[in-house]
A and B are shown apart, each in its own frame.
Chain A
Amino acid sequence: MAEQDKTPPSGSGLPSDLTDPALARLDKGLETVRGRQAAEAAKRAPDADPRAMRAVGKAWSLAIEMVAAVGVSLFIGWWLDRWLGTAPWGLLGFILLGVATAMWSAIRTAMIMQRSQEAEAEAAAKKSEGE
């Protein structure tokens, strides 16, 4: 069996369908391990792209945060109107403020993204200069 284990691999010009029992066992072993790895990778498939998942979560978060900002300002404005009796002006003013807050959240997220992209581009440029 030792001499048969020293047979050269099929890439060195020998015919690939060598009916060598040791190689056949090796092939079967490799198939099993690869199958198991593929099964594990498929199980982990829902988390296979965590960055995309995180980005979708952040996007949905931003949308709800914008709505919540308008909602909160609406509530504050309506409550202040009831308390101070300034009929529609408090509500309108605070709705305007809420819309401005929503837009500010969106712009701030955009600036953060822009800054992180610039930082990534700088890091990549420095790495390629250093090499």
Chain B
Amino acid sequence: MSLSSRHLLGLYGVPKEDIQLILDTATTFREVLERPIKKVPTLQGKTIVNLFYESSTRTRISFELAQKRLSADTINFSTSTSSTKKGETFKDTVRNIEAMKVDMIVVRHQSAGVPTYLTKISKANIINAGDGLHEHPTQGLLDIYSIKEKLGKLDGLKVCIVGDVSHSRVALSNIFGLKTMGAKVSVCGPSTMIPFGIESLGVKVYNKINQAIAEHDVLNVLRIQLERNAGERIPSLREYHNYFGITTERIEKNNRDVLILHPGPINRGVELSSEVADGPYQVILDQVTNGVAIRMAVLYLLGTMH
């Protein structure tokens, strides 16, 4: 079994069989992570570059750990400034790195479409670690994996993505991936944070948080992206919390069976109350562990393709 593409650019259009294969492979690696020695030799001799043009802590660490546990050689290149404004162009940077003979590139960039562009200028396998507001496929996959792990199935499940959908690459990857796997996906948030025409993707829109909690099996609660000017779309964080924040009270009043996911980092007291963030309904830290397994699976499947 192998994937149908040698890159992972997004979950849009990725066939169900591929997602299933990644989830199954992740289960194997999830088991490896519980061993005393958490390392396998599968990608020995492969060189992977983590090309991060946007700051990231957990995604970068998660990828790096996944690479080390697969015994790959990894190099980190991080810069928060765009190389395009002055100095070397992105293309030249990539060509130089590639000239040093690398097999895979994991890329994060503030501009949507950069991973797709990379496939045209590089021969390496490309993995998207988040491009602009476009996609973050490994996050989508680890969310899907975590839901399946907790609830045992995906088909027919009702999942609602809550919050700043329009500033979220996590939302799009979740929508595309979950729908492929047979889940029913909706979004809930202030109408300024719901992107144009999302209904035409077969996604229902909610503006009332209590109703969203009541009618779904899973809430994937997004971070309010203050660093992406989310502030201009809502009057204040206080008002956001009062109308859309997930609190224990709201959960207990509407749906005690709901499962809460959050891609992190959490703004405590904004999208989640601290009580919920640390409470029994959430699986946030499991998501983080699963993230390593998912990334190991993706790296393994792409790195061993012929």
B is bound to A:
no
Residues of chain B having any CB pair with chain A under 8 Å? none
- What is the interface of chain A, defined by CB distance below 8 A to chain B? none
